[in-house]
Structures are given as C-alpha cells and as structure tokens.
Amino acid sequence: MFQVDMLWMTLVILWAGIGNGDHEDCPPYFDCGSHGRFGYPFTKVERPDCGIWSIHGCDDHNPNSGQNVILSFGTTSIKVRKFELDFVTTTVYFIDEDLNKLLLSESCETFSHNVTLPPSSPLGYYTLLNNITLFKCNRILKVNPPKTFLKNTSCGYDIFIGPPHSDDVSQRSLAVCSMVQLPINGFAISANPFAFLTAEIPMQFLPSDECLLCLHHRGQCRLASQGKVYCAQRKDKRNSDWKPGWVLGNVIYSTMAGIGVIAPWIIIMFGLFFALRHCKRKYGSAQGPFQSRNTPVDPYENPDTETERIFFGVPVFSYKELQEATSNFDLTRKLGDGGFGSVYYGKLQDGREVAVKYLFENNYRRVQQFMNEIEILTRLRHRNLVSLYGCTSRHSRELLLVYEYVPNGTLAYHLHGDFGRASSLTWPIRMRIAIETATALAYLHASDIIHRDVKTNNILLDISFSVKVADFGLSRLLPNDVSHVSTAPQGTPGYLDPEYFQCYQLTDKSDVYSFGVVLIELISSMPAVDAGRERDEINLANLAIKKIQKGELGELVGPSLGFESDREVKRMLTSVAELAFQCVQGDKLLRPSMEQVLKTLVRIEGGNYEYEDLVQGNDDGDGTSHSEEVMFFTTRGTEVRVDLL
C-alpha cells in the first residue's frame, strides 16, 4: 500500500506541475481609458489567450480612449457603450446599428429582425437581458391571445405584445404565430412597440458550471483544444477540483506549446496509470485503494447537482423541501417584499428556523443576483453579516435562497413601521446599531466588496438588537488598485449616491453615502424619502444638510432621544450628525472611508480607542479562506477586544 500511495502522490504532483505552468504571464488587470481597469474575462487584443473577450481601442495613455471600445469574440465584433461586471456575470451594452435604423424609421421590418448572440461554448453561454417576445400573426389565422396581451395593427399583420417574461401557457395560445425577441428600454409596455423598443442591447455572459468553479477559486477559465476547459492562475489552490477532463485539457494545451517538453511526462503518466490499475486490482475494495473511509468529501466537487446536494459549499434544497418548510409559501408567513423577491418564514425538517427568499420570475437579473449572493456569502463570514444556509439549484426554475432567520425584523420597521416601536430604540441601542453596521461595511470594503444597497430595510436585528446586514444581490467586486467600476446606477431612491447616479461610477464611497443616510434615520426616525415633505426636503439627506448648516439640529433629532435633557446624549448626537453630514457630501472625495467612519463612531461612543486592522487569511480547516478583523478600543476606562468575525 505504501508503494501505491507513493505512485498516487507522484502522479498528482506531475499533473499539478503540468497544469500550473500555463499563462502565468497573463496580466491580472489592464487599463481601458475612461472605462477604468479590466481583468478576466476581458483581455487586450494582443493577448487573446488571456481571456474570453478581446477589447480593441484601449489606449493606456489616453484617458478618453475608452469612449469607443470594440469588443470581439471569435469572428464577431461589437461597439460597446458600457460594461457591468459582477462576481460571476459580465454584461455589455452595445448598439445594434441595423435595428437602430429600423426603429428610427418605424419600419415594419423591425419585426423580422433577430438579434444574433454568440454561440454557447464550454466556457459559458450568452443571454439577452431586458427583452420582450412579440408575436407576428397572419390575419387569416384565428388566434385567441390572453387578455393581458396588447394588439398592434399598423403593419400588414397583427402584432401581439405580452408582458415581459410572460409564461409558457400564454405563449402556447399564439403558437401558430412567428415570434421575435427584441430589447426594450423599460417595462412601460404599450400598444405601440416603437415607444418601448430600443437598439441598445444588454448582453450577459454566464459562465458554465466548470468555469463557475474556477472563478470561485479566483482562477481564469480557459479553453484548450478539443473543447476542454481548464483553470489557469488559481489563487486558492487548497481545494483541488481537478477532474480527468480538466487535466487532459491542460496536457493538450501544454503539448501545443511545446510537445518536446511535455511528451516524456505524458509517457510517464500513462506508465503510472497502468501501474495504478495493476495495484487497484491487487488491493481492490468497494471504496478503492486510494479512498480512505475518513477522507472528507470535497464540497466543491460536482457542484450544482441534486444528488450531491452541495453547491459551492452550501447545501442544495429541493423546491419541495422549501415549499413544505414555508407551508406552500403561505402569505401569513411572508416577512417582506423587496425589489427582486419575497421573503418567507420557514422551518426545516431539522428544526432550524429560516428565511427563504423567493426571487421573482419576472426579474431578468435573478440568476445574476442569485449567484452574487451565493458567491459573496460563501466567501465571507462575519458576525454582522446574515448567514446563508443553502439554495436551490441554479438550473431550477424557482430560484430560492435560504438564510438564517433573524427574528426582530428590519431597522426600518423599528424606525418607521410601527409608531410605538421607535421609542424602544433608545440612543445607546441606536449607537450600537450604527457601530455594528459600520463594522460589517468596513469588513466588506476590506474584502473589496461594495454592498450597493445599504438601507434600513437591509439591516436586520435580532432579539438583542444586534445587527445582521443582508441582501447582496446588487453587490459588486472592486478589485485592488481600481478606483471605480463603471456601471448603470442601481440601488434605492433616497440612498443612492448622487455622483454614482450622474457619472455611472461606483466606488466604496457610494456605500458611505448610503450609510450616511442610515445615520440620519437613526438620529431623526424619519424615512429616507417622504413625498409629504417640502420639495427640497423630500430626500432626507437634503433635509439633514439644510438643518445642520442652519444650526437647527434640534429640529432634526427625534424627540424621544433626550437631545435636550441628557448632555452626554446631546454630545453624541451632535457628533454623529457631523459625521453623517460628511458622509452625504455630493463630492465623494469629501466623504470619509468606511474604516474612518467606524473609528469615528467608536470614538464618539466610548472616548479613547485603539483600532488594529488585521486582514489576513483565516483557514477554518475546511479549506475555506476568510478574512479576520479585530478591533481594540477603550470605553469608559475598560479595554475591550472585539472579534469582528
């Protein structure tokens, strides 16, 4: 058995040696004018082997060169207007020039135009976002469209227009008609298609399961000959996921690079393979000679299958399990609605209480948001971030996420939902909520993640009013040494960074702005947006700036907090208001960082403090790397050590 183990170890070392030598010279990032810095899956045209999409027109020395970027994949080229990069998906917006001409002239040929997407590959597939299916019907035919469909008769045939993402049953009633899918500029559908159709096309690339696994380990997914996929430049190599197909892809690619160097290793590998087969027959057992009964199963092997029940390290639930846990998604169990889904209370068979998020089927970004949350919450672990217990398969029609149940509702509910509850949040409790929320956001920023939807509805409270920050569907990765990400503004009115809204540049200071609004809500108990206020005070940030500049803080502070009666509370409230004022400045350069915000809050709450930021790898023994942060501060003469994880 010792000889068998030695042979096996030698074979693994040889495989690793072959696989790790490819494309190590590919740059992790490159500059692209005003669009900022890019990395995988994009690459410069000079290095097509380093990515999936080659970008033309990026002059590193000209900050305006990125205005006209040409993107090519295979033989297809498009002119890109803007990019959106998420953890697992990439979206590019481009103009279909032919469609644009047809729309401008309101030509009936529009309804014969098909948007052509690149073909799928082992690396992934392309989808058209924000589109609608139109049905072109010959008037001789007798059709019975659903009542929700609109009808247009301006051409020589009837056009039936249904709601975006209409169900299969509705579409079957128009099966005798021809279909065309076209992009739309919003969801305000009317009987005049030219009012809502657009030539700007958002095309999204979704990685294959194998590439998702590679990206999860911070590698770059490559395509070798014969359509084999392999993972280059992996940053996290502790969880080995190589399968024979992946190894063969590496061998083939390496052989193309230098057959004279690799061929001897291939011969050795085949020799070892037959030696191992001989040993397996000699020592054969039900488990095989190389599998110990105590060997842990790799949680990343064969992801996203109902049989394995594991997807990127979290359990995969069936729809039926979650249907039973929530009593068939009983409305009495609904905890709330968000922009992208509803959340229900549930109880699993093992007795755990959970919150189940059911992503809306008409949300065309739901796969992206589904994967975003899984990718973030499996990478990070923090006491003030909500925990992910599991999900359904990403190939399931119903996309559901299962979280820990946080029983005390949202901060918004306590501040605004029930007038009797605002008084239960005393100033010390509010101060702790502010510090814990800032702690979670500082941790995210230290991990290069922007939350992008910080608001009181996404701050959950447990029975002791401890914070759990939730909802990472819009979150974005901000790579090292990148000042911003160019992306279409998304978020919640009242919390949205005005500079991000105007310039389409998302930075960590966008979260700081949103958190500043949360601080003002904690001070005032007023909602972020209130149409009943004066026009220039509808947004709470504007109201706060106005009151603070006029020295009218007393009119902003909630009457139950003791601003006039408690000197210490008044000191803290005044200091927090000053901090909030800095956070909601229109110019992001005038806002503090999230780490500075946290330090300031701790100082306001307790006086003297010492902050030590230790961001380092923390192996939990399961091969998963997490960040660690520890904060030391002195409050009322006592040194306190706070583990932020």
| pLDDT tens string 69-88 | 777 766 667 777 777 766 66
Note whether 137 and 153 are within 8 A (CB).
Answer: no
Rounded distance between C-alpha atoms, residue 522 and residue 433, angstroms: 9
Q: Strand 178-183 relative to strand 158-161: parallel, antiparallel, unpaired?
A: unpaired
Tokens of 493: 């009115």
Residue showing tokens 């910080």:
454
> What per-residue string of b and e applies to 288-325 under the rule 16 or more CB within 10 Å gives b?
ebeeeeeeeeebbeebbeeeeebbbbbebbeeebbbeb
Give, for 248, the enclosing helix (H) or strand (E).
Answer: helix 244-257
Rounded distance between C-alpha atoms, residue 541 and residue 159, angstroms: 46
Residue partners of 283: CB distance under 8 A and separation at least 6: 1, 4, 289
**Residue 338, pLDDT above cutoff 60:** yes
Note whether 539 and 529 are within 8 A (CB).
Answer: yes
CA atoms within 13 A on the CB side of 560: 16
Rg value, the chain, Cα: 28
Strand partners, 136: 159, 178
**Residue 13, pLDDT above cutoff 50:** no
Rounded distance between C-alpha atoms, residue 15 and residue 251, angstroms: 8
Note whether 162 and 133 are within 8 A (CB).
Answer: yes
> What per-residue string of b and e applies to 591-620 under the rule 16 or more CB within 10 Å gives b?
bbebbbbbbbbbbbbbeebebeeeeeeeee
Tokens of 581: 């004022």
Rounded distance between C-alpha atoms, residue 142 and residue 138, angstroms: 9
**Residue 590, pLDDT above cutoff 80:** yes
Mean pLDDT lowest among 49-58, 121-130, 607-616: 607-616
Active-site amino acid positions: 453
Using 50, 70 and 90 to split pLDDT, how confident is the model at 209?
confident
In 10 A of CB 164, how many CB atoms?
16
**Residue 470, pLDDT above cutoff 50:** yes
Backbone angles phi, psi at 404, to 5 degrees: -65, 145
Using 50, 70 and 90 to split pLDDT, how confident is the model at 144?
confident
Rounded distance between C-alpha atoms, residue 413 and residue 580, angstroms: 21
**Residue 136, pLDDT above cutoff 60:** yes
Using 50, 70 and 90 to split pLDDT, how confident is the model at 125?
confident
Q: Strand 638-643 relative to strand 609-610: parallel, antiparallel, unpaired?
A: unpaired
217 or 499, greater pLDDT: 499
Share of the chain above pLDDT 90, in %: 26
Using 50, 70 and 90 to split pLDDT, how confident is the model at 203?
confident
Residue partners of 172: CB distance under 8 A and separation at least 6: none
Report the first-to-last Cα separation within the chain, whole angstroms: 43
Residue type present at position 413:
Y
CA atoms within 13 A on the CB side of 638: 4
**Residue 469, pLDDT above cutoff 60:** yes
407 or 226, greater pLDDT: 407
What does the mean pLDDT of the chain come to?
Answer: 74
Backbone angles phi, psi at 72, to 5 degrees: -125, 145
**Residue 242, pLDDT above cutoff 90:** no
Q: What is the pLDDT of residue 501?
A: 81
Q: What is the pLDDT of residue 270?
A: 52
**Residue 456, pLDDT above cutoff 90:** yes
* Cα torsion 542, 545, 547, 550: sign: negative
Rounded distance between C-alpha atoms, residue 438 and residue 377, angstroms: 18
Q: What is the pLDDT of residue 461?
A: 94
In 10 A of CB 43, how many CB atoms?
21
Tell me: is residue 357 an annotated ligand-binding position: yes
DSSP 419-434: TTTGGGS-HHHHHHHH
pTM of the model: 0.58
Using 50, 70 and 90 to split pLDDT, how confident is the model at 628?
very low
Q: What is the pLDDT of residue 288?
A: 34
Most confident of 48-52, 319-323, 421-425, 511-515: 511-515
Q: What is the pLDDT of residue 466?
A: 94
**Residue 520, pLDDT above cutoff 90:** yes
**Residue 23, pLDDT above cutoff 70:** no
Task: Find the mean pLDDT for residues 293-297.
Answer: 31
Burial, 332: exposed, middle or buried (Cβ in 10 Å; 0-12, 13-18, 19+)?
A: exposed
Category of 372 on φ-ψ map: left (φ > 0), alpha (ψ -120 to 50) or beta: alpha
502 or 620, greater pLDDT: 502
Q: What is the pLDDT of residue 88?
A: 66
571 or 370, greater pLDDT: 571
Task: Find the mean pLDDT for residues 297-301.
Answer: 33
206 or 158, greater pLDDT: 158
For residue 476, the SS3 value is: strand
463 or 629, greater pLDDT: 463
Task: Find the mean pLDDT for residues 99-124.
Answer: 85
